[in-house]
Amino acid sequence: MNPPPFRRLVSRAVVLSALATLGGAHMAQALTLMPAKDIPRTVSFGGACIGCDLSGRQLPSARFLGADFSGSALVGANLREVQFTGSDFSKADLTRSDLTGAAITGADFDGARLKDVRLDGARVRGVSFDGADFEGASLRGVTFSGVDLSDARNLKQEQLDGACTTGTVRLPRGLTLRPCPRD
């Protein structure tokens, strides 16, 4: 017998509240147990969720602090306005994900698949993209600083033309990035 809708809603709220008090490491692991595609906006993730499948998840405004999502699938995920701080997304698949307005600091995206990802308006600082695949990625309005794109794959000048830099950026041979205008 299924509980009434209100009871299911209250039960889910109690579970999420309990998980939040347990800490970020348990929260990341709990995501794979939750049947719903929508994740509350107040969630912070830490700990490890290596190889998790979070494809299609709604994670706008989430905070990833020291999280290890290496090898995870976040295909088509809504990651608008997220914060990735000191997190590992190496070899993760973020194909067709929306990271519009994201703040990405000190993260590792080595070998990540960023095909057709939308990074428009993102602020990217101190990030490594060694071997990351940028095929079809949208980089309009991205501000790069202290970023290594030198070994990025499928990165085109047309993509970089809409982005700018406020600091040092290593680029593949033949590509350039304009300085950001001063306010």
What integer is the mean pLDDT of 9-38?
35
Residues 6+ away with beta carbon under 8 Å from 9: none
Rounded CA-CA distance 55/44 in Å is 18
Q: Is the pLDDT of residue 42 over 60?
A: no
What integer is the mean pLDDT of 163-168?
95
Q: Is the pLDDT of residue 3 over 80?
A: no
Q: Is the pLDDT of residue 111 over 80?
A: yes
What integer is the mean pLDDT of 2-26?
33
| Contact between 72 and 53 (Cβ < 8 Å) | yes
pLDDT in tens, 47-104: 788 999 999 999 999 998 999 999 999 999 999 999 999 999 999 999 999 999 999 9
State the pLDDT at residue 44: 59
State the pLDDT at residue 55: 96
- Token pair of 51, please? 């190889």
Residues 6+ away with beta carbon under 8 Å from 177: 144, 160, 163, 164, 165, 169, 171
Residues 6+ away with beta carbon under 8 Å from 36: 12
Place of tokens 């000191």: 86
State the pLDDT at residue 43: 57
Instruction: From 132, 43, 57, 47, select the one nearest 99 (Cα to Cα).
Output: 57
State the pLDDT at residue 182: 83
- Token pair of 8, please? 């299911």
Rounded CA-CA distance 164/78 in Å is 24
pTM for the model stands at 0.75
What is the share, in percent, of the chain residues with pLDDT greater than 70?
A: 74
State the pLDDT at residue 26: 36
| Contact between 172 and 147 (Cβ < 8 Å) | no
What is the share, in percent, of the chain residues with pLDDT greater than 90?
A: 69
